[in-house]
Homo-oligomer: A and B are copies of this chain.
Amino acid sequence: MNPTEWRTYLVTQESRSAGRETAAVVEAALSGGVDAVQLREKGRPARERYELGRRLRDLTADAGVPLIVNDRIDLAAAVDADGVHLGQSDLPAEIARGRLGDEAIVGVSASTVPEARAAAEAGADYLGVGAVYRTGTKDVPDETNGVGPERVAAIADAVDLPVVGIGGIDAGNAGAVTAAGAAGVAVVSAVTAAADPRAAAAELREVVGDGR
């Protein structure tokens, strides 16, 4: 499944998973039907992310779902991930492409049209656009009120790449993001911190299907 087909995209963060381990959250989310999983786990040492990444590689491969690694090209290669997701202050997309090869999926975070155009130029396969809504997570661009579905629409119009909205998205507002032109939505807490991550993933999937 390639990024144009991703509707729901889980981003892991054990520190926001209500005391559960990330592998358990991912297993539940896969059974609820997420289309892609990103190993994020900001703040954890590389060695821990590596060990976790190997477990997530097994789980996602069994489910036939791509695994993307946040930030680090070396970690993506080490766990045999399908690709890497790069922020604006990470290594350039061209470097990831050169190291991981043509088949790898390279995603880039963009919160403006110029950033989106630059990412397309650099060979990105998809864009993570956000923060769409206000979010408590500090690891997306700091715009207090979010860039909104309007920015998602502007970027989706400007570039010929699938856009995944991220930041403050849940089942209640995901439909507006896909209606604006996003191919899919990425979530952290809406699934990781949910009482029932499997049910939350399934509900999100249903909403995003409806939103198209």
Contact = CB atoms under 8 A, between A and B. Distances in A.
Copies in the complex: 2
B71 A91 contact: no
Contacts of A71: 46
Interface residues of A, number: 19
A89 B90 CA distance: 20
A90 B89 CA distance: 20
A45 interface: yes
Interface string A133-156: 000000000000000000000000
A194 to B, nearest CB: 30
A101 interface: no
27 contacts: A45-B89, A45-B90, A46-B71, A46-B90, A46-B91, A47-B88, A47-B89, A47-B90, A47-B91, A47-B92, A48-B89, A50-B91, A50-B92, A50-B95, A72-B72, A72-B74, A73-B74, A74-B74, A74-B77, A74-B91, A74-B95, A74-B99, A75-B91, A77-B99, A78-B91, A78-B95, A78-B99
